[in-house]
């Protein structure tokens, strides 16, 4: 694959780099560098800032407000975004439900929902997994029963990321139980969270953060106008959405700059001790991760080129998801190893305020190495577990 960039593309890279260095909110970048979690207001503010720049939807068609960037420009933008330690786009609106609406939705749905998604006036979350339906998503049981001009939703969605902040949730629900295959009879609906019958309960993760939730629906009314596409075709739409999600989970740009920072950490000495770069075994691990990352990067470029030609990501998104998440966990382990005993205190409150800055590893506290390690145990599961992705590759790539 030719990865030589043209003069125009290199000029674009300079424009993006200048934006992140001189225009993007500096207080948000500083929080990112110090590994301090962004609050809801921070996340909304930076999304709106980048919308005003005209760069909020790199993958959307221009007719709906997309940037019209080439695959090379999308790659360069993500590269510079990670280089600047800028936060990644929140995917639920821009990368997940937005493409489903502009591809399968009615004109009325496009006019109603897409502008607010683009401007981040509406916070979306994803309602796929259930207490008894995670990787085996086709076994979902949440019902949507027809009641005149609306559906009545009953059931529970689980592991709903940032659902405590959401205004709307897109859900896969069962509208028909009299089917020959479990994948049939599932529909894709859009649900307003601010109504009676919706209850959000927090789930606290190993790192102590309230990142995910369990959401209960008790006779929640959903207008028929909020059904996307055809009734019973939700499984098809959901698969398309997951292909986009898996591509993003790979996190190639972020992994590149985490590894580059790790090399810089290894060259530095602390407390007069010998630099970690003198440990040939540790440097061998970094080199092995860099080789894996380069192969992953080329796969991502091929996927971007395919999407730019008008195709949805195919089975290669599963390859990206497996390799990318495995690599993210490997890098977390290397950071943990580099941090040494400074990674032992892993309660967030202990390091944000009190952990001495001269004892921090890289950009952010050493203790964040533990938090990332614990939190990223989940990346091989969400978006479809890696075991399921291997079955997809076996079927659709290898023909087994």
pTM over 0.85: no
Instruction: Supply the CATH number for residue 185's domain.
Output: 2.40.110.10
Q: Are 86 and 213 in contact (CB under 8 A)?
A: no
- Same domain for 278 and 389? yes
Domain assignment present for 106: no
Are 169 and 96 spatial neighbours (Cβ–Cβ below 8 Å)?
Answer: no
pLDDT in tens, 328-366: 999 999 988 888 777 765 555 544 444 455 444 444 545
CATH of the domain at 303: 1.20.140.10
Final residue belonging to a domain, choices 233, 268, 285: 233
Question: Which of 19-28, 222-231, 249-258 comes out lowest in average pLDDT?
Answer: 249-258
Cα–Cα separations (whole angstroms), residue 274 to 220, 266, 281, 339: 62, 10, 15, 14
pLDDT band at 137 (very low <50, low <70, confident <90, very high): confident
Q: Residue 170: what pLDDT?
A: 97
| 362 or 45: which leads in pLDDT | 45
178 burial class (0-12, 13-18, 19+ CB within 10 angstroms)?
exposed
Nearest Cα residue to 134 out of 115, 152, 168, 159: 159
Q: Please state the domain count of the chain.
A: 3
Quote the pLDDT of residue 31: 87
Q: What is the mean pLDDT of the chain?
A: 85
Query: Quick one: average pLDDT of 290-313?
Result: 74
Does residue 188 share a domain with residue 62?
no
pLDDT at 86 over 60: yes
Residues 293 and 371 in one domain: yes
How far apart CA 400 and CA 392 sit, in angstroms, is 10
Q: Are residues 268 and 353 in the same domain?
A: yes
Residues 270 and 309 grouped into a single domain: yes
Sign of the CA dihedral with 384 first, then 390, 395, and 397 last: positive
DSSP 130: B
- Pick the more confident residue, 49 or 36: 49
Cα separation, 134 vs 344, in Å, equals 32
Please give the Cα distance from 37 to 43 (Å, whole number).
Answer: 10
Mean pLDDT of 88-114: 95
Residue 13: both structure tokens together: 């890279």
Do residues 269 and 340 share a domain? yes
């Amino acid at each position: 694959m030719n990865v030589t960039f043209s003069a125009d593309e290199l000029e674009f890279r300079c424009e993006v780099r200048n934006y992140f260095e001189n225009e993007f909110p500096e207080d948000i970048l500083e929080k990112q560098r110090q590994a301090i979690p962004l609050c809801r207001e921070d996340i909304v503010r930076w999304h709106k800032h980048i919308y005003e720049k005209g760069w909020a939807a790199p993958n959307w068609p221009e007719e709906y407000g997309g940037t019209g960037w080439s695959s090379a420009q999308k790659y360069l933008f993500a590269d510079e975004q990670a280089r600047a330690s800028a936060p990644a786009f929140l995917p639920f609106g821009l990368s997940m439900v937005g493409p489903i609406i502009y591809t399968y939705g009615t004109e009325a749905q496009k006019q109603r929902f897409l502008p607010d998604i683009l401007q981040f006036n509406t916070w979306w979350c994803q309602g796929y997994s259930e207490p008894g339906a995670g990787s085996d998503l086709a076994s979902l049981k949440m019902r949507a029963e027809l009641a005149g001009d609306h559906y009545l939703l009953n059931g529970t969605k689980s592991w709903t990321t940032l659902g405590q902040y959401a205004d709307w949730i897109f859900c896969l629900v069962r509208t028909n139980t009299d089917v020959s295959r479990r994948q049939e009879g599932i529909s894709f609906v859009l649900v307003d969270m601010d109504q009676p019958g919706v209850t959000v309960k927090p789930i606290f993760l190993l790192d102590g953060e309230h990142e995910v939730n369990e959401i209960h629906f008790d006779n929640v009314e959903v207008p028929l106008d909020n059904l996307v596409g055809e009734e019973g075709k939700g499984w098809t739409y959901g698969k398309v959405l997951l292909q986009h999600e898996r591509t993003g989970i790979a996190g190639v740009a972020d992994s590149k700059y985490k590894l580059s920072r790790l090399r810089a950490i290894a060259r530095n000495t602390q407390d007069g001790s010998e630099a970690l770069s003198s440990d040939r075994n540790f440097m061998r691990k970094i080199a092995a991760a860099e080789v894996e990352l380069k192969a992953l990067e080329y796969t991502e470029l091929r996927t971007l080129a395919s999407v730019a030609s008008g195709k949805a990501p195919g089975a290669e998104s599963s390859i990206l998801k497996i390799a990318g998440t495995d690599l993210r966990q490997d890098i977390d382990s290397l950071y943990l190893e580099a941090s040494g005993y400074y990674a032992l205190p892993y309660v967030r409150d202990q390091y944000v305020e009190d952990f001495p800055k001269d004892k921090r590893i890289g950009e952010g506290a050493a203790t964040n190495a533990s938090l990332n390690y614990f939190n990223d145990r989940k990346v091989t599961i969400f978006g479809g577990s890696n075991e399921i992705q291997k079955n997809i590759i076996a079927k659709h790539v290898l023909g087994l």
